[in-house]
Amino acid sequence: MKDWRIGIDVGGTNTDAVVLDNELNLVAAVKCPTTEDVMGGIREAMASALAQVEGARERIGYAMLGTTHCTNAIVERKRLDRVAVIRLGAPATAAIKPMVDWPADLREAISDRWYLVRGGHEFDGREIAPLDEAELERIAAEIDGACDSVAISSVFSPVDASHEKRAAEIVRARLGADFPVSISSEIGSVSLLERENATILNAALVTVAKTTSESFVSALAAEGIEHAEVYLCQNDGTLMSAAYAMRYPILTIACGPTNSIRGASFLTGLKDAVVVDVGGTTADLGALTHGFPRESLLAVEIGGVRTNFRMPDIISIGLGGGSIVRKHEDGRVTVGPDSVGYQVLTRALCFGGDVLTATDIAVASGAAEGVGDPSKVADLDPELVQAASAEMARMVEECVDKMKTSAGDIDVILVGGGSILIPGELKGVSKVHKPENFGVANAIGSAISQVSGQIERIFSLDEMGRAEALDKAKDLARQEAVKAGADPETIEIIDVEDVPLAYLPGNATRVRVKAVGSLKL
């Protein structure tokens, strides 16, 4: 039976790999340094993990990759495709040109040609103007051979995508049936500029996603794993097939924090908790609700570009293993926010350095057995150690309180290398969990991701009534989840939101629904 999984997480410092058996028991876990070419680290982590368990290779049927490839391409402005940008909506929308608010270097790396064409829809589905097909044919001829990828967006395409789809047909008729064309209604939700931005970024990442997926498949093949289902992680804690990822690479951006929260949930069995991921410089807190990360409500920038993606709601505070501890003249003791970062292994007192860090406090208080040399911090003033420990607890307590969604006490899950800093008891917290294998929570999160489908549409409730509209929206979300690989039997609706649109008659309402299911095994 090929029913085991291998999960990989590529982070800034480490690449982790885990193997889970058919009952999702953790049977292998490794940490390797992330390499500059990324793929080298993946190969090494995968090979060491598989070497830990005899016969694992033969059992692997599913391989999941959470990676920073796409994020890095945008941040470094490298390996990006040249994109021709088409917006349908003239004469509306002329006041803001495509990409006008982008960092200049990213714009130059991605696109030097954009077109505003007559077309698009009103909020109620009427056409702003009939689609100018002749103009699109002229544009297709002009961009033929001059770009690698095309991004098409249209006003109110979340309400009616017909113009975008027709425009894509016209482009493909000239540039080829397999030519990469990203259309905005498949990428983002209502809000033209943010959706257009995401669509352009998506179009620019097609080759990166293709290379990543193909290298992952070949790395698996090199380990003797063939015919495995290959998935990439999305930023909402769910998976997409490699084929889907090649069409929607933008969805892989920032999957790391999500995997960490989901992995923490798996390691403890908790569905509702605050997850505290303590690193060298910061502690990142995220809320786990119903087994998924709670999403942020503010607009998210990717590489300096505004998008309307939903990302996990994370609060970062300056508390990590390398945070510098100070006693001030007035007697106050502070921890961070500055940190010696990864140099903690040479600069902290307990490692023979000369900086008093949060790690030294943990070692001196006896909370960090096996870390550094306790004799080097034995002379620290016990009052200072106690005050600093209390301060670290206070910082986390205050932040946990902000992440809570109700007044009662909540469970906290500690993951990450710096979690030795946090005491086993916190105010406002019912229980502090420090799971085994907390170091590879991200890779576990990657291996256990579910698949989802999401839709966002505007409905006229006068025409169909609220219940009917919500049912229709749920069906569409379920269909999206099945398209993404979910077992129809396991699909659950996890989020329904409806927002009436101000000023509009007919009870126009925006409905957003997300459906999630287990992988169809």
Partner 1 sequence: MVGCGMRKLGVQAVEDIARGAAVLASGGGGDPYLGMVVARQTVEEFGAIELLELDEVPDDARIAVSMGLGAPTVLVEKVPRGTEPEFALEALEDACGYRFDMLLPSEAGGWNSLHPMLPAARRGLPLLDGDGMGRAFPELQMVTWSVFGQSASPIGVADERGNKMLIETDDNKRAEDLCRGATVMMGGNISLACYGMTGAQAKANSVAGTYTLCEEVGALLRYARTNRVDAYDKIMECLGAVELFRGKVQDVERRTTGGFARGVAALEGFDAYRGSSFTMEFQNEFLMAKRDGAPVCTAPDLIAAFDVETLTPITGEALKYGCRVMIVGIPCAPQWRTPEGLAVVGPQAFGYGDVPYIPVEQR
Residues forming the site for partner 1 (CB under 8 A):
89, 91-97, 100-101, 120, 122-124, 126, 128, 155-156, 158, 190-193, 287, 294, 297-299, 306, 313, 315, 401-402, 404-407, 497-505, 507-510
Give the shortest CB-388-to-partner 1 separation in angstroms: 23
Give the shortest CB-244-to-partner 1 separation in angstroms: 26
Give the shortest CB-122-to-partner 1 separation in angstroms: 5
Residue type for 185, please? S
**83-90 and 113-118 strand pairing:** parallel
Give the shortest CB-324-to-partner 1 separation in angstroms: 18
Is residue 273 within 8 A of residue 441, CB to CB? The reply is: no
Q: Report the run of H or E that residue 261 belongs to, with start and end.
A: helix 256-268
First to last CA, the chain: 11
Nearer to partner 1, 210 or 404 (CB): 404
Give the shortest CB-196-to-partner 1 separation in angstroms: 10
Give the shortest CB-511-to-partner 1 separation in angstroms: 12
Give the shortest CB-105-to-partner 1 separation in angstroms: 19
Give the shortest CB-99-to-partner 1 separation in angstroms: 11
93: left (phi over 0), alpha (psi -120 to 50) or beta: left
Residue type for 306, please? R
Nearer to partner 1, 92 or 482 (CB): 92
Nearer to partner 1, 262 or 294 (CB): 294
Dihedral Cα 145, 147, 150, 151, nearest 10 deg: -150
Radius of gyration from C-alpha coordinates of the chain = 25
Q: Lay out the sheet containing 450-460: strands in order across.
A: 26-33, 14-20, 4-10, 60-66, 229-233, 238-241, 450-460, 508-517, 492-500
Nearer to partner 1, 33 or 500 (CB): 500
Distance CA 227, CA 22 (A): 17
Say whether the peptide bond before residue 91 is cis (omega within 30 degrees of 0): yes
Distance CA 146, CA 83 (A): 9
Nearer to partner 1, 29 or 285 (CB): 285
Beta-carbon contacts of residue 479 (< 8 Å; ≥ 6 apart): 453
Q: Determine the 3-state secondary structure of 206 from DSSP.
A: helix
Give the shortest CB-469-to-partner 1 separation in angstroms: 13
Is residue 18 within 8 A of residue 63, CB to CB? The reply is: no
Give the shortest CB-103-to-partner 1 separation in angstroms: 14
Nearer to partner 1, 129 or 367 (CB): 129
Give the shortest CB-108-to-partner 1 separation in angstroms: 18
CB neighbours (10 Å) of residue 340? Answer: 22
Tokens 């006490």 locate to: 409
| Both structure tokens of 8 | 């990989």
φ/ψ (deg, to 5) at 229: -75, 130
Nearer to partner 1, 155 or 388 (CB): 155
Nearer to partner 1, 315 or 393 (CB): 315
Nearer to partner 1, 47 or 393 (CB): 393
Distance CA 468, CA 159 (A): 17
DSSP 11: -
Nearer to partner 1, 313 or 411 (CB): 313
Nearer to partner 1, 285 or 361 (CB): 285
Expressed in percent and rounded to 5, the helix, strand and coil fractions of the chain are: 40, 30, 35
Give the shortest CB-443-to-partner 1 separation in angstroms: 28
Is residue 360 within 8 A of residue 384, CB to CB? The reply is: no
Tokens 């839709």 locate to: 455
Nearer to partner 1, 149 or 454 (CB): 454
DSSP 121: B
**273-278 and 410-415 strand pairing:** parallel
CB neighbours (10 Å) of residue 378? Answer: 10
Nearer to partner 1, 402 or 520 (CB): 402
Distance CA 398, CA 389 (A): 14
Give the shortest CB-378-to-partner 1 separation in angstroms: 37
Nearer to partner 1, 125 or 176 (CB): 125
Give the shortest CB-97-to-partner 1 separation in angstroms: 7
DSSP secondary structure, 283-348, as one string: EEEEEEETTEEPBP-S-EEETTEEE----B-EEEES-STTEEEEE-TTS-EEEEEEE-GGGHHHHB
